[in-house]
Chain A
Amino acid sequence: MRKDNARSLASTFAGYCILIFFALVFLYPFVIQIATSFKTEPDAAAHPLSPFPDPMSMGGYEKVFVNTDLPLWLGNSLLVTVVVTAGRVLLDSMAGYALSRLRFAGRRAIFSSIIAIMAVPGVVLFIPKFLVLNQLGMYDSYTALILPVIADAAGVFIMKQFFDSLPVSVEEAARVDGAGVFRTYWSVVLPMARPALLTLTIISFQGTWNEFPHSLVAVQSPELFTLPRGLADLVSGSLGKGTQYPLKLGAALLATIPVAVVFVVFQRYFVRGANEGSEKG
């Protein structure tokens, strides 16, 4: 018995050691990022491991706001993210509801097509999306940034799964009271779907805020760059390699902060979103 206790104590200790090691590996790059964004350039080059800026400098951030178009990229990202997220929540939930509850011809075919679309690798669609946007005369516009991604197959799938899990009785009561389909959807079903809607809102926000390849093939004018696009341009283009790290890491940090805040506040909804994938299999 005592031997068992000693063994479990030892394994708990080993467990903590492994965890702390990995927690450092997973979090220290962010610590370095935050610290370096407040360093001077010579300090960043001389002490890359140090978590303390010496001296403390806001120079990187000043340059970000003066020498780059970051405020513009922030504005574009905000606009695109808000519109796309609102659109996805509305359109995906409407489609998910119809596919789960309304009987209409072609419903099954539409649902299987949505599953099929989820399986198409995104990378394969780079050039095709550009072709369509070009053909429709939308290339290089806000419409090109927003419209192609305003509905997504995975979101429809999540919503349908959720509605499938709800009991029909409440809607039936509303129907008996004489409410139409839209009325039932809007005032009975949507309020019940709040947890699923929140999950969808959060994963759309995160996905759209971080989206890079779509902006790469949808627009080319610097006035239409979103934050990831501007950041990529900053690193690979105008500034070149190996210099200005406080500025670059500061800009990258500003791109990370909104997602980080949402993550800390709504962590369990991210978890739900991540595990939504496991139901597909």
Chain B
Amino acid sequence: MTARKTREHLAGWLFVAPVVVILGLFMLAPILMAFWVSLTDWNGQGSPFRSGVPFAGVANYTRLFTEEGLARQDFMTSVRNNVYYVAIVVPAQTVLALGLALIVNSRLLKGRTFFRAAFFFPSVTSSVAISVVFLFVFANSGAVNALLGLFGVDGPQWFADSRGVLHLLLGAVGLVDPAVPPEALTSGGPFGLSWWEWLSGPSVAMTTIIMLVVWTTSGTFMLMFLAALQDIPVSLEEAAMLDGAGRRQVFRNVTLPLLKPTLFLVLTLGLISTWQVFDQIYVMSQGNPAKTTLTPAFLSYQTAFRSFEYGSGTAISFVLFAIIVVLTLVQRWVMRERRHA
């Protein structure tokens, strides 16, 4: 008996050893190494652990928040861009995914499998290849502008347009003139950006990336909603109908509460992935025009691998890590409070 136990013990370790070594070496060790690098001014030459590497302490972090300068301005710009990106992408992809799932789930519908496949297909294709397609679709003489032209609308130069959508809207309703913003908003603001700059909204260029991402991710989330919808017993909704509830009431009082765990999952996954947007930015805009598509993820890459400031680059990625962790915890907390109420 003990011999067999020892053998099982040994076999267990043998079976997990490759995975443990690889994940340890390429997931765990890197994080520790990176934390050290974020405290230095290593320039990529030689080993970051040599004695000659200048130690910076927390300077790489404080530069992002307290010191006036380009580092803080770029970082805060990237945070602003990403906040608008998250604020639009997460609700849009969730609502679209839920809507599609509800329609595709209908038992009356023929060709459900085809439609499911059609909506899911973009999520399995390469983000780089899809970005190339959208570069063409939104080009100055591309499909979108051609379509707008059919309705007599002059489409913008999508990828060159750095104007903020919120600025444009405020201008359109006549509240402010985007060319001459009110001085009260331009004169000051937190973290080195003026209030006017914080209130820009996503730029027109960022809007194209937002559309692309909503388009590619909705399919996956639709499948998650669909799986949850199919777990809801039909008898439950029918019973509510018999009791005289209308469709809308059934959805709000029966279906939606049962979908809550999936909704929570979709929102969490959405929050996590939207803060990491990278591939599309790299292919479509590289942070341009006028830094309005710069995001912390792309900025950290650019700082490390283009400017060779590895310390600053890693510091940015740790701050990004913290943002994601904090948001996930906040969301979990908010949902828990509601559940008790």
The answer on A and B forming one complex is yes
A residues whose Cβ falls under 8 Å from a Cβ of B: 8, 12, 15-16, 18-19, 22-23, 25-27, 29-30, 32-33, 36, 44-49, 91-92, 94-95, 97-99, 102-107, 110, 113-114, 117, 120-132, 135-136, 147-151, 153, 156, 180-182, 185, 206, 209-210, 212-213, 216-217, 227-228, 231-232, 235-236, 241-242, 245, 248-249, 251-253, 255-256, 259-260, 263-264, 267, 270-271, 274-275, 277-278, 280-281
Are A135's CB and B33's CB within 8 A? yes
State the Cβ distance, B271 to closest chain A Cβ, in Å.
11
Q: What chain B residues lie within 8 Å of A156 (beta carbons)?
A: 19
Question: Is B108 positioned at the interface, with any CB of A under 8 Å from its CB?
Answer: yes
Are A98's CB and B136's CB within 8 A? no
Interface residue SS majority, chain B: helix
B199-234 interface code vs A (CB 8 A; 1 in, 0 out): 000000000000000010001100110011000000
Are B142's CB and A48's CB within 8 A? yes
B residues whose Cβ falls under 8 Å from a Cβ of A: 5, 7-13, 15-16, 18-20, 22-23, 25-31, 33-34, 37, 47-48, 100, 103-104, 106, 108-109, 114-115, 117-137, 139-143, 145-147, 159, 215, 219-220, 223-224, 227-228, 261-262, 264-265, 268-269, 272, 275-276, 278-279, 282-283, 286, 297, 300-301, 304-305, 310, 313-314, 317-318, 320-321, 324
Are A212's CB and B108's CB within 8 A? no
CA distance A275 to B223 in the complex (A): 7
CA distance A153 to B127 in the complex (A): 22
Are A121's CB and B33's CB within 8 A? no
7 contacts between A and B (CB under 8 A): A19-B109, A48-B139, A117-B28, A212-B127, A231-B129, A245-B139, A259-B124
CA distance A120 to B276 in the complex (A): 11
CA distance A193 to B133 in the complex (A): 38
CA distance A212 to B314 in the complex (A): 19
Are B126's CB and A228's CB within 8 A? yes
Interface residue SS majority, chain A: helix
Residue from B124, B135, B264, B279 with most neighbouring chain A CB atoms (10 Å)? B124
Q: A22-B119, A103-B9 are in contact. Are A210 and B137 (CB under 8 A)?
A: no
Are B133's CB and A32's CB within 8 A? yes
Q: What chain B residues lie within 8 Å of A44 (beta carbons)?
A: 136
Are A104's CB and B9's CB within 8 A? yes
Are B23's CB and A153's CB within 8 A? yes
Cross-interface CB contact of B19 among A30, A151, A260, cutoff 8 Å: A151
Are B23's CB and A151's CB within 8 A? yes
Cross-interface CB contact of B317 among A124, A245, A271, cutoff 8 Å: A124
Q: What chain B residues lie within 8 Å of A227 (beta carbons)?
A: 126
Are A23's CB and B265's CB within 8 A? no
Cross-interface CB contact of B22 among A45, A49, A148, A263, cutoff 8 Å: A148
CA distance A43 to B283 in the complex (A): 24
State the Cβ distance, B51 to closest chain A Cβ, in Å.
16
State the Cβ distance, A135 to closest chain B Cβ, in Å.
7
Are B135's CB and A235's CB within 8 A? yes
Are A271's CB and B223's CB within 8 A? yes
Are A259's CB and B126's CB within 8 A? yes
Cross-interface CB contact of B129 among A26, A124, A256, cutoff 8 Å: A256
Q: What chain B residues lie within 8 Å of A48 (beta carbons)?
A: 136-137, 139, 141-143, 145-146
Are B141's CB and A110's CB within 8 A? no
CA distance A33 to B228 in the complex (A): 34
Are B265's CB and A280's CB within 8 A? yes
Q: What chain A residues lie within 8 Å of B27 (beta carbons)?
A: 117, 120, 125, 153
CA distance A47 to B132 in the complex (A): 18
Are B301's CB and A255's CB within 8 A? no
CA distance A77 to B25 in the complex (A): 23
Are B262's CB and A126's CB within 8 A? no
State the Cβ distance, B90 to closest chain A Cβ, in Å.
15
Cross-interface CB contact of B132 among A113, A217, A248, A281, cutoff 8 Å: A248
Chain B residue with minimal CB distance to A253?
A: B129
